[in-house]
Chains A and B, each alone.
Chain A
Amino acid sequence: NAGVTQTPKFRVLKTGQSMTLLCAQDMNHEYMYWYRQDPGMGLRLIHYSVGEGTTAKGEVPDGYNVSRLKKQNFLLGLESAAPSQTSVYFCASTDRAGASNTGELFFGEGSRLTVL
């Protein structure tokens, strides 16, 4: 029962470095999301995808890029990391039935990123 898997779970970067977070889901979900969570701010949507090959901006997209080349994978990239991107990143997925009926998003365990 893998569900939603995020890699890596922890990473320390220096300012200006680049990296990619990988989200993989094995539930055949159409919808995938990347959120960041900061103290006192709750979860904020960075980018999302409503299907393979499609992506869209969320609430806080600046400094991030995403790709959804395969239905099961949603990649989040930081081209030039900044200390303001220090956060916990959560990937989530759902399908149309789940979203419309129960509102349930399935989350990964999170990726803790520190930018020095």
Chain B
Amino acid sequence: RKEVEQDPGPFNVPEGATVAFNCTYSNSASQSFFWYRQDCRKEPKLLMSVYSSGNEDGRFTAQLNRASQYISLLIRDSKLSDSATYLCVTSRGDSSYKLIFGSGTRLLVRP
């Protein structure tokens, strides 16, 4: 079983739609959580960190449920430019700062 599991999608939504991605992690020692974005044939880039209290960055909202070991990302008012793969990422918080990546959820936003 993968340490970080995501629905691969693709999620195909119209512009302006709200879409939510979910992610589960199996290692209870995970300390930190992130969402990365990866455009086709490009490198991953940090989208946002995920905090226990939930956090928002413009149209993006991230939630963490430690009890259920579950992370979510909500995108409101989808734009064509949001089309990408979204990677759920955890870290065990040890001194190596290694990140564990999910396999990603692909989002396609259509006109």
Interface residues in chain A, defined as those with a beta carbon under 8 Å from any beta carbon in chain B: 31, 33, 35, 40-45, 48, 50, 56, 58, 90, 94, 96, 99-100, 102-105, 107-110
Contact = CB atoms under 8 A, between A and B. Distances in A.
A107 B44 contact: yes
Contacts of A104: 46
Given A103-B46, A108-B43, A43 B101 contact: yes
Given A90-B43, A103-B34, A107-B43, A48 B104 contact: no
Interface residues of B, number: 25
Nearest to B89: A103
Contact of A42 (B32, B97, B103): B103
Interface in B20-49: 32, 34, 41-46, 49
Nearest to B45: A107
A43 B44 contact: yes
B102 A42 contact: yes
Nearest to A31: B97
B24 to A, nearest CB: 14
**Which of A40, A42, A90 is the most central at the interface, judged by chain B CB atoms within 10 Å of its CB?**
A42
Nearest to A45: B98
A28 to B, nearest CB: 16
Contacts of B89: 103
B76 to A, nearest CB: 23
Contacts of B34: 103
B86 to A, nearest CB: 12
Question: Which 4 residue pairs spanning A and B have beta carbons closest together?
Answer: A42-B103, A99-B97, A107-B43, A43-B101
Contacts of A41: 103
Given A48-B98, A58-B98, A42 B87 contact: yes
B81 interface: no
Given A40-B8, A48-B96, A56-B96, A103 B32 contact: yes
